[in-house]
Chains A and B, each alone.
Chain A
Amino acid sequence: MTTPTAPTASADRPPPPRLALRYLAARRGALTALGALLLLSTAMAVVTPQLLRRFIDRAAESADTSSLASLAAAFMALAVLTELLLVAGDVLAARVAWSATNELRVDLTRHVLGLDLAFSERHSGGELIERIDGDVGKLANFFSRMFLLIVSNSLLLLGIGVALAVQDWRVGLCYAPLVVGAVLLLRRLVGGAVPASAEHRAATARLLGHLAERLGGLEDIGPNGARDHVRRGFWAHAARLLTAARGSAALGVRWPAAAQGLASFGLLLAVLVGALLLVSGQTTVGGAYVFVAYAGMLQMPLLHIAHQVHDLEEALAALGRVGELFAERGAVPDGPGRLRRTAARGMAVELAEVSFGYGDGAFALRGVSLRLAPGERLAVLGRTGAGKSTLTKLLFRLADPDAGRILFDGQDLRGLSVDSVRRQVGLVTQEVWIFHATVRENVAVFDPGVPDEDIRRALCEVGLGDWLERLPHGLDTVLGSGGVGHSAGEAQLLAFARVLIVDPGLVVLDEASSRLDPAGRRAFRAAAERLLAGRTAVVIAHQVEAARTADRILVLRDGEVLELGRREALLADPGSEFGRRWRAAEVTA
């Protein structure tokens, strides 16, 4: 009996806010400056109406025109200065946001690239792109806009409260619960409008989907007399869309209506309170006017906060998803040693009783043992699911065996750093990824230290010399989507060139030629000969043809060794499965 348990990954997953803080903490200086800017601009926004008050009161006292004029000038200067500070704050916030999220995105990408193959097989490419690009992108918005708007508008509301309390503490006391209540109410209403607007969008999509399908089937519609039916169908959808639009509008106006209502209520309250205090001699006309001015300043911050809090919740969800990705761990731990090649003619490879499974209880490989001397060539044959690709993964150390050992030049891979192992293994798979980058970058895989001469030589050696000649910009020609096209065969040869550049001690070809046409296969064979010369090689294929130049043959069935031996020996053995298949292929060839 097994009970479902929470994945262990969740244990060390940082909570979203702490993850955000980690990236913000490094920008303490900029954030402090930003905070100061916000405080200052808020203070100025709150002070500005006080100038109006003074202006009105001075005018009532018949002060001289020049002092009134200087107050007016100060009012304008303060307003302009406030805006300048706000713009400066925006710029600063944008810098912080982008540098923090850039760092997060780079860290996340480094982390994902460090995970093992099992991870990349569990998650679709689209899903990972959505995490690294989409979710992190939402965070940029969160750090720059949301964060700034929430903080600055909260400060503004607070500042207005302080100003009111300074003028009359009773007014300040009433203000606080009103504002907090207003924010809570608006937040609810903003959230409440979401399902209706989603339904509105869905109804729009249904109407357009209906039209798209019918417009794609016009030939069926006319001669079968369904034109009127299509139009009636359109009107039925249009009527439902209008209902959805009305429903969405009815719910969607609630929050702006509430905000407007609150503003109107605030204005009314300001007029009454101002008049009351004035009549009882506790304030001046200017003082009464300031209440009205502050009431007019309330609506925008209330709306901004309500909206941004809603977006904030979504951003935190995105942050949570990013955190989950960070909590993923690779399965291949680094060992302390570094793999060193002892022979110039390739590496010795040994598998001792190697078993491996994918955690579902079944073995993908079981008790496989073999030895390859430096420079020897092994062909691995077997049907789909026989364990051939698993062998590749273990040799390239994308995973470690569950049991048994793999040794290169006598050193157990577990004791070595993953990087030093992969340095000595040239892996060529069936699907070659061509980067949207120059030929130079594609061959050197972005290593700027590789001289152009080496790249040219490698391309010539694998038979891409003529191809390179024909490219419009030589090594600077951009390949990949939107760039110069290439055939599957050329991509495969380019992958060989990548391996040649690195000069590894062991080459693994995993079904590398299976997608090529006959002409591509001929070029492939010639290039493979040059690539494999002087190296230990493991050639994996389900076609027996791959064994043509092999010294040793391994036939796998259901993860176990069916046959293993020197090619000639197996061919001489009338009971050999390999021999049988070889002869069958010879007959048809």
Chain B
Amino acid sequence: MTWHLFRLLAGRPRPHLLLDALWTLLRVTILLTGLLLQAVFDHLATGSQDRGPIVLWAALLAVNEAARLVLWYGVVLSRVEPTYTYTVRSGLQDRVVGAVLRRPAATALRHPVGDVVSRLGGDADEVGVFAIWSASNVARLAIAGVAIAVMARVDAVATAGLVAVIAVVTVLGRLLNGPVGRRREASRAAAGEVSTVVGEAVGGFLALKAARAEGRMTERLRVASDRRRAAAVRDEALASAQESLFRVTTALGTGLVLLLVAGRMREGAFSVGDLALFVFYTQFIGEAVNALGMLLGRIRQAGVSLGRLGELAEGPGEVAVAALVHLDHAAPPAPGPPRREPLRSLSVSALTCLHPGTDRGVRGVDLSVRPGTLTVVTGPVGAGKTTLLRALLGVLPAGGEIRWNGEVVADPGAFMVPPRVAYLPQVPALFSGTLRENVRLGVECDDAEVLRVLELATLGPDLAAMPQGLDTVVGPRGARLSGGQARRVALARALLRDPELLVLDDVSNALDLDTERALWANLLATARTVLAVTHRAEVIAAADRVVRLEAGRVHGVVAPRRPNELSGPA
């Protein structure tokens, strides 16, 4: 997985290199501050009364500090890093979403939606943060190397001692990670116990009163709280010790340097300026050693996250690509929809689609739809009616052959789209947003057009009762509309696409008889060709062709053909 991680970052090298360069520059200013302090104290130690150099050093120090401040906060943290991390993040998210959209819709998600979304959030975040963390720490390690070289030139022994002390204490601190984690876990578990008891005290309010057990419940809470206190104090004590160990590293390093240079300092071979330099660099080197200790863990963690994202698509190779991002400009429209070509014939042969691990579904279905007709699919519950429509549209993966105007359809999911087809699923989905947005769903058109299809979908009276009209907000998943309203909005969405073939899965659901009659009349008067699942006898009677499914197989095709009975007097 590490390989994919590096491939992802290397695929878009410029922002990473820019960030590397900026962090390097930034840490060079830290080196410079140390060197300036060294110069100041060396000058002061001479006992010279000349203030000139001091003023110069101080001015340079001021410029250097200001430069770091601007670079760090004004450029890196506030601009470059957010842009880079979100570029990586959005790129990963887009690759995953793209892969999901390409697959047959009903089987596109291999994990529950909640899990997929949590990965798109958390795991993409992890990789995005790694991108900037790695840039910052590559520079940190490089400059720490330079700092060590500078110090070694002054006193190699003291430098070696300093680095050794820092390394040992850092390793000790990291050894505490295991116990710290275990105690944190115990503390959380104890906290969970307390929450449970509190929940029971509140939820069982009346039961406790009825048994006059208020005091006993309070006692129970006291016991759980005491247990939690013990666990929490142990947890906090160890965490504090670990933090303290990291803090004391600098002091121990400094003390060791003092010990090692004492002799040379007395002889004048190690100056006060050198000491100032050493003390100033100690903390910086401590941070670098700490980062080095975290490096492998961070790489592994980011690799795991990338792998989890890869599972949502066709593997990490598909997502670990520096894809085009559209963060500073609107995304360009995709190549337009296929050219409209009138439906001349649609034939399906030996269509088979079984639900994995069962023998339910449809098998060996032959079907043909002629232009300008109503074809009805009917049959008992569980006969495979919905599966047939889904297989035809590529919503479910299926075997067999589909021919559209004589041409074999290789990828139904990609081919069966407007203006060829439009679809009303059995359980249609609306999305947060307005009525207008839900009907259009990306189609460019004016409000008159939207109103026309809503009218056709018999939503006119409902719309008249909505003060906001097309701006009415439908709520999450359309929750503010009734079930029947949501179906008709989804139907209007399909009608707006004016498809050659309109595919409807059970329009009647949640509609009263009068509304449904009006709806069918509208559909038959306007739609070009309709393929519909329905139980309604009147609709079946009006169909040009009725396909009866039973247990996944075609059980007869009839042509009742009593034209125009539903569309009313012509």
Q: Do A and B bind each other?
A: yes
- Chain A residue nearest in CB terms to B76: A253
Q: How far is the CB of B251 from chain A (nearest CB, A)?
A: 3
Known: A87-B240, A231-B98, A285-B272. A222 touches B413 (CB 8 A): yes
| Residue B527 at the chain A interface, CB threshold 8 Å | no
A423 touches B263 (CB 8 A): no
Partner-binding segment picked from A113-121, A375-383, A536-544, A548-556: A113-121
B196 touches A436 (CB 8 A): yes
| Residue A215 at the chain B interface, CB threshold 8 Å | yes
Q: How far is the CB of A414 from chain B (nearest CB, A)?
A: 18
| Residue A102 at the chain B interface, CB threshold 8 Å | yes
A215 touches B116 (CB 8 A): yes
Q: How far is the CB of B336 from chain A (nearest CB, A)?
A: 9
Within 8 A of A (CB), among B218-267: 218-222, 225-226, 228-229, 232-233, 236-237, 240-241, 244-245, 247-248, 251-252, 254-256, 258-259, 262-263, 265-266
Q: How far is the CB of A430 from chain B (nearest CB, A)?
A: 11
Known: A213-B431, A217-B431. A80 touches B248 (CB 8 A): yes
| Residue A402 at the chain B interface, CB threshold 8 Å | no
Residues of the A chain whose Cβ atoms lie less than 8 Å from the Cβ of B211: 445, 447, 498, 502
Per the bound structure, the CA–CA distance linking A102 and B233 in Å amounts to: 13
Q: How far is the CB of A554 from chain B (nearest CB, A)?
A: 22
Residues of the B chain whose Cβ atoms lie less than 8 Å from the Cβ of A218: 100-101, 105-106, 108-109
Per the bound structure, the CA–CA distance linking A429 and B237 in Å amounts to: 47
| Residue A63 at the chain B interface, CB threshold 8 Å | yes
A242 touches B83 (CB 8 A): yes
A278 touches B77 (CB 8 A): no
A94 touches B117 (CB 8 A): no
- In this complex, how many residues of chain A approach chain B with their Cβ under 8 Å: the count is 125
- Chain B residue nearest in CB terms to A481: B196
Once A and B bind, how many residue pairs between them come within 8 Å at the CB atom?
388
Interface string of A178-217 (1 = CB under 8 A from B): 0000000000000000000000000010001111111111
Could you say which of B83, B202, B214, B279 contacts A129, with CB atoms under 8 Å apart? Answer: B202
| Residue B200 at the chain A interface, CB threshold 8 Å | yes
A229 touches B442 (CB 8 A): yes
A220 touches B423 (CB 8 A): yes
Within 8 A of B (CB), among A95-137: 95, 98-99, 102, 105-106, 109-110, 112-114, 117, 120, 125, 128-129, 132-133, 137
B276 touches A112 (CB 8 A): no
Between A63, A216, A260, A502, the greatest number of chain B beta carbons within 10 A of the residue's beta carbon is seen for: A216
Residues of the B chain whose Cβ atoms lie less than 8 Å from the Cβ of A76: 251-252, 255-256, 259
Residues of the B chain whose Cβ atoms lie less than 8 Å from the Cβ of A56: 272, 275
Between B44, B72, B255, B333, the greatest number of chain A beta carbons within 10 A of the residue's beta carbon is seen for: B255
Per the bound structure, the CA–CA distance linking A232 and B97 in Å amounts to: 11
Q: How far is the CB of B470 from chain A (nearest CB, A)?
A: 17
Known: A225-B337, A239-B328, A429-B206. A99 touches B266 (CB 8 A): no
Within 8 A of A (CB), among B382-426: 390, 393-395, 413, 416-418, 421-423, 425
A249 touches B81 (CB 8 A): yes
Q: How far is the CB of B169 from chain A (nearest CB, A)?
A: 11
Could you say which of A90, A140, A253, A435 contacts B77, with CB atoms under 8 Å apart? Answer: A253
Could you say which of B40, B61, B213 contacts A447, with CB atoms under 8 Å apart? Answer: B213
| Residue A422 at the chain B interface, CB threshold 8 Å | yes
Residues of the B chain whose Cβ atoms lie less than 8 Å from the Cβ of A446: 213, 216-217, 219-220
Per the bound structure, the CA–CA distance linking A495 and B220 in Å amounts to: 20
Residues of the A chain whose Cβ atoms lie less than 8 Å from the Cβ of B51: 275, 279
- Chain B residue nearest in CB terms to A116: B209
| Residue B483 at the chain A interface, CB threshold 8 Å | no
Interface string of A63-92 (1 = CB under 8 A from B): 111001101110110011001101100110
| Residue A364 at the chain B interface, CB threshold 8 Å | no
A224 touches B237 (CB 8 A): no
| Residue B133 at the chain A interface, CB threshold 8 Å | no
Known: A60-B45, A215-B113, A238-B86. A72 touches B262 (CB 8 A): yes
Could you say which of A102, A253, A268, A498 contacts B61, with CB atoms under 8 Å apart? Answer: A268
Residues of the B chain whose Cβ atoms lie less than 8 Å from the Cβ of A230: 97, 101, 442
Known: A222-B105, A223-B395, A289-B272. A144 touches B477 (CB 8 A): no
B240 touches A109 (CB 8 A): no
| Residue B204 at the chain A interface, CB threshold 8 Å | yes
| Residue B195 at the chain A interface, CB threshold 8 Å | yes
| Residue A580 at the chain B interface, CB threshold 8 Å | no
Residues of the B chain whose Cβ atoms lie less than 8 Å from the Cβ of A226: 441-442
Could you say which of A110, A113, A219, A296 contacts B106, with CB atoms under 8 Å apart? Answer: A219
Partner-binding segment picked from B347-355, B453-461, B489-497: B489-497
Per the bound structure, the CA–CA distance linking A112 and B252 in Å amounts to: 53
| Residue A241 at the chain B interface, CB threshold 8 Å | yes
- Chain A residue nearest in CB terms to B66: A264
A91 touches B109 (CB 8 A): no
Known: A229-B442, A447-B216. A62 touches B120 (CB 8 A): no
Per the bound structure, the CA–CA distance linking A230 and B210 in Å amounts to: 56
| Residue B380 at the chain A interface, CB threshold 8 Å | no
| Residue A155 at the chain B interface, CB threshold 8 Å | no
Per the bound structure, the CA–CA distance linking A129 and B82 in Å amounts to: 38
Known: A83-B247, A215-B116, A253-B73. A225 touches B61 (CB 8 A): no
24 contacts between A and B (CB under 8 A): A65-B262, A69-B259, A79-B255, A80-B251, A83-B248, A87-B237, A98-B233, A105-B225, A215-B109, A216-B429, A218-B100, A219-B423, A223-B105, A223-B394, A235-B94, A239-B326, A246-B82, A260-B69, A268-B61, A271-B37, A275-B54, A292-B37, A436-B196, A495-B207
Q: Ordered nearest first, which 4 A-B pairs have the shortest CB separation?
A: A229-B442, A217-B429, A79-B251, A76-B255
